[in-house]
Amino acid sequence: MGVNDTYSRGRELLIADPVRAALVLALVVLLLDLVRQLVFGQVPVSQFVVLLKDGLMRGLFFGLAGIGLSMTYSILNFANFAHGDFITSGAFSGMIVTYIIAGGFGAEADIGSLALVGAGGSVFGAQLGIGVASTPLAVLGGVIAAALFTILLSLFIDRTVFEPIRDRSGITLLITSIGVAFVLRYLIAFIFDPSRRGVTDSNAVPSTDILVYDGFVSVDLHEVSLLVVSVLLMLGLHLLLQRTKLGKAMRAMSDNEDLARITGIPTERVIRYTWIIGAGLTGVAGYMFVIWNGTLHWFQGWILLLPIFAAVILGGIGSVYGAIVGGLVIGLTMSVSIVWVPTGLARASAFLVMILMLLVRPSGIFSGGSTA
């Protein structure tokens, strides 16, 4: 009965929507091929687990950073292209504080170099021994600074740039946000110099090797930190949205702004809280990504923006849970895809997944059920 049901559903799908049927078929073929490669040892299981772990890390970051994008997208109705540079801003502001604390407020290196995150190769993260285990206070300070600075930055930009043109079309706001992105990105390059720098001390990160079937998979503390921070923040956001009045107001606003205003919801205040929550999460995500990744540079956020867009669209714009799920899907796609495609095309395959998703289901996985 069950098999029959599936079969007839499949046939209906094939007739009603051949494109989608072809995609489903392609997905099934890829999965079978993956199983084949794993069984015949073309891809060692442990190596596959490493890919999964990498994808999970990336996915958590995409999800965490995507929440802010998804919230502003649904409540303010525009695709914020400056979001990637909020990520970079968060990473840089957090790292300034981390460098200053880890550098003993100028005791270990020139305070100016610390405040510029070692611009011009004056100080390196490894020199200061930065890491979650070696300098926990500096990292904690960095997380808080990243959140606070990104919140302030987003509120400032909203007040000066977006608020005056709130009533215009989404496209006008989108183009404006591209302008904001340019200003932020190149201002960061101007102040902190356009070099790529290592900011953590990779020797100071404790790690363990776990035996997985045919090999070892190493897990280090920075990966665990990214996992813990993202999951905690996502849980907190879930509680906020479901249990508080603010969360209810946000959900109401993303559903229907006019109705929300008529019911007496102070929409401008809700918008402010949207920026505060979204930007705070974005800043922390950017900072934790840099801690995990170990390098920092001025166009990091821009590079990450497109996969984040992919995650948000995949999950369904406006859905916080969609952003998380979409982030995981995109993250896993990027890392697992290298089983089939060359490494350089991993990101391309993530975009391809996004484009295909838009074609078969433009409203995303969690369509309709917008949560914030």
Partner 1 sequence: MSGTNDDADGKDDPVGGVRAAAEQLWEEDAVKLLGLILGIFALYLVGGALLDFGARQQVNLLANLFFYIGVFAMLALALNLHWGYTGLFNIGVIGFMAIGIYTTAVLAKEPALTEPAAGSIGGFGLPLWLAIIGGVLAAAAFGGLVALPALRLRADYFAIVTVGVSEIVRFTVLESDFQKMQIAGYFVGLGGGSGLILDFDPTDDLLEALGLLEPYTAFTESAGAALSLGSNPKPVFDSLLYGLILLVFLIGFYVLLRRVGNSPFGRVLKAIREDEEATQSLGKNTRRFKITAFMFGCALMGLGGILFFAVQGAITPSAFRPRLTFFVWIALIIGGAGSTTGSVMGGAIFAAFLFRGPLFIKNVVQQNVDSDAVDTFGQAVSPLISGLDPFPMLLFITDNLQQLQLVIMGLVLIYLMHNRPEGMLGHRKEEASTISLNRPERSTDSPGATPATDGGEPVDGGDTDE
Q: 52: Cβ–Cβ under 8 A, 6 or more apart, which residues?
A: 332, 335, 336
- Measured CA to CA, the distance from residue 114 to residue 92 in angstroms comes to 12
Q: Which is nearer to partner 1, 62 or 78 (CB)?
A: 78
CB 23, min distance to partner 1, A? 12
Distances (CA, A) of 303 to 80, 82, 120, 213, 300: 14, 12, 22, 35, 5
Shortest distance (Å) from residue 305 CB to partner 1 = 9
Choose between 183 and 227: whose C-beta lies nearer to partner 1.
183
Rounded to 5 degrees, what are φ and ψ at 287?
-65, -45
- Cβ at position 369, least distance to partner 1 in Å: 19
Report the C-alpha gap between 312 and 255 in whole angstroms: 17
243 token code pair: 């249990």
Q: How far is the CB of 352 from partner 1 (least distance, A)?
A: 7
Based on CB atoms, which residue is closest to partner 1, 195 or 263?
195
Query: CA–CA separation, 89 vs 206, rounded Å?
Result: 28
Question: Position of tokens 């433009």?
Answer: 362
Would you say 14 or 174 has its CB closer to partner 1?
Answer: 174
Closer Cβ to partner 1, 100 or 234, answer by number: 100
- What amino acid is encoded at 29 in this protein? V
Work out how close the CB of 191 gets to partner 1 at its nearest, in angstroms, rounded to a whole number.
5
Residue 178 CB, shortest distance to partner 1, in Å, is 6
Contact 222, 292 (CB under 8 A): yes
Cβ closest to partner 1, residue 198 vs residue 215: 198
Of 157 and 328, nearer to partner 1 (C-beta) is: 157
* Residue ranges that bind partner 1, judged by CB under 8 A: 78-79, 112-113, 115-116, 119-120, 122, 161, 164-165, 168, 170-172, 174-176, 178-187, 189-194, 306, 309-310, 313, 342, 344-345, 347-348, 351-352, 354-355, 358-359, 362
- For residues 139 and 134, give the distance between their C-alpha atoms in angstroms, rounded to a whole number: 9
Of the pair 27, 171, the CB lying nearest partner 1 is at 171
Tell me, rounded to whole angstroms, the distance of Cα 53 from its chain centroid.
16
3-class state of residue 192 by DSSP: helix
Mutual angle of helices 18-39 and 2-16, in 10-degree steps: 130
Min dist CB 195 to partner 1, Å, is: 10
Sign of CA dihedral 148, 150, 156, 159: negative
For the bound state, the minimum distance from the C-beta of residue 11 to partner 1, rounded and expressed in Å, comes to: 24
Q: 59 near 332, Cβ under 8 Å? A: yes
